[in-house]
Chains A and B, each alone.
Chain A
Amino acid sequence: MLQLCLTVHTFFNLAVITFFYFSRKSASFYTSIMAVEFEGGVVIGADSRTTTGAYIANRVTDKLTPIHERIFCCRSGSAADTQAIADAVTYQLGFHSIELDEAPLVQTAASLFREMCYRYREELMAGIIVAGWDPRRGGQVYTVPVGGMMTRQPVSVGGSGSSYIYGYVDSNYRAGMSKEECLKFTAEALTLAMERDGSSGGVVRLAVVSEQGVERQVILGNQLPKFSTV
């Protein structure tokens, strides 16, 4: 009797799991994101894959979210959490900017992210890189990983794919690179991460944020830089 109950229960569980495939697993960005400072602005980049379990829910995601005119954030972790946080911070920063009647500082945006990520650290899973340009301090990159720490770095990588490129980034980053060199550096690093990390892939989205504004570009799969053919 008990065995019959167990079999039915297990079968029911399997059925529930099959039908509940999307309810049980939330959409996440186990991803590769990166941001680099250069003289006069920042270069940010991300892959474009969102997964629910082993299924790619969106293969052309845009993880580079504008928070203000010249401030962006790169999102990694839970899609729902990061979207909600980004929407909340966009509202707060917009309000703050209107009160101040001037462009907000990148540090302010990063602080707002940190406030939220630290206060609700038990409930959230969000690793965010805030990058942008402001008139006072130029191009800046702040990283707010899971847990809610905030620190400024000249170059920052994040997401599950970042583990594979720490060595590459540390050895290839030089202070004082130009905009084109930064773009090439970011594209190559993200390509390497996407190559090795199963949760990253798709296209590489890049953006340059500077005093002149924002320039966005997309590097499609077949146009990515090529490394070894192994």
Chain B
Amino acid sequence: TEEQCWGTWGKNIKCVCFYRNALLEADINKLGFSSPAARKTGTTICGVVYKDGVVLGADTRATEGMVVADKNCSKIHYISPNIYCCGAGTAADTEMTTQIISSNLELHSLSTGRLPRVTTANRMLKQMLFRYQGYIGAALVLGGVDCNGPHLYSIYPHGSTDKLPYVTMGSGSLAAMAVFEDRYRPNMEEEEAKRLVRDAIAAGIFNDLGSGSNIDLCVITKGKVDYLRPHDMANKKGVRTGSYRYKHGTTGVLTKAVTPLNLEVVEESVQTMDTS
């Protein structure tokens, strides 16, 4: 039937959203205001497949325009016990999208009676993002280990995906990719893979304005997940070397005038709450 085949085509949603948002935007600009800035994770996220599994990495800065909104946000989201997903783009979109797919995947896993596969999560994510035609600004790095081994996917906001041994996304992705292209080897050991991801995220943090703060890592192997948050505090706040507090009595008090405010109770009513 038409619904079965074209189920993923959200033509109606796209038209409605587009016209409503365009009208609102036009009105707001007429009054002289600008639409509020969405909180984004201008980000560096990356992932690498190594000998026994997958290492995912992310920075921890969330920005609202040019201001850092959150210095230590968590960009590596849980999808299922063996699958995790890093998110770049609009923070709300990545958070909600990963939660929706995590929930659906758990139901699917209960229905099949098996541990979910990474390719299932990938298909669910890409079909949802394609349905919204890129208006959900979520660029994801999905990684996990299932019965077929370790897998790593990069998912773009318009719904296209790539299955690769190493991927980077976000505004700092070019810096991180430079590190990967230099030092990636197939079948690395765990320590080497963690060091590589840490260095790639660090490249993004120090060379991209949209990324910063700490480095989070998530190492996924068969049967075990190491969620290292933070793995590396690359940007610790400095300690002040001197105290600038003035001692009591530094400022001399010339006069003192005390005016008590006499308040009388006019009306008192008590409402008991039913806390049974």
Interface residues of A (CB under 8 A from B): 5, 9, 12, 15, 18-23, 26-27, 50, 52, 55, 57-58, 60-61, 78-80, 83-84, 87-88, 91-92, 120, 123
Contact = CB atoms under 8 A, between A and B. Distances in A.
B25 interface: no
A22 B164 contact: no
Among A19, A60, A61, residue most surrounded by chain B Cβ atoms (within 10 Å): A19
Nearest to A92: B5
B40 interface: yes
Contacts, number: 87
B126 A83 contact: yes
Contact of A19 (B6, B42, B126, B161): B42
A2 B121 CA distance: 48
A60 B88 CA distance: 23
Interface string B161-186: 11010000111011000000000000
Given A12-B37, A12-B65, A18-B210, A26 B9 contact: no
A83 B159 contact: yes
Given A12-B65, A92-B5, A27 B40 contact: no
Contacts of B8: 84, 88
Given A12-B65, A23-B137, A57-B162, A120 B89 contact: no
A32 to B, nearest CB: 18
A22 B34 contact: no
Nearest to A61: B162
Nearest to B156: A27
Contact of B5 (A18, A19, A88): A88
Contacts of A123: 11, 133
Given A18-B171, A88-B8, 11 more contacts: A9-B34, A19-B63, A22-B88, A22-B139, A22-B170, A57-B156, A80-B129, A83-B161, A91-B5, A120-B11, A123-B11
Contacts of B169: 22
28 contacts: A9-B34, A12-B34, A12-B65, A12-B66, A22-B157, A22-B169, A22-B173, A26-B158, A26-B160, A27-B156, A50-B160, A52-B156, A57-B154, A57-B162, A80-B134, A80-B156, A80-B159, A80-B160, A83-B160, A83-B161, A84-B8, A84-B127, A84-B130, A87-B123, A88-B8, A92-B5, A120-B9, A120-B11
Interface in B86-141: 88-90, 123, 126-127, 129-130, 133-134, 137, 139
A50 B162 contact: yes
B26 to A, nearest CB: 15
B134 A23 contact: yes
A15 B66 contact: yes
Contacts of A19: 40, 42, 63, 171, 210
A23 B5 contact: no
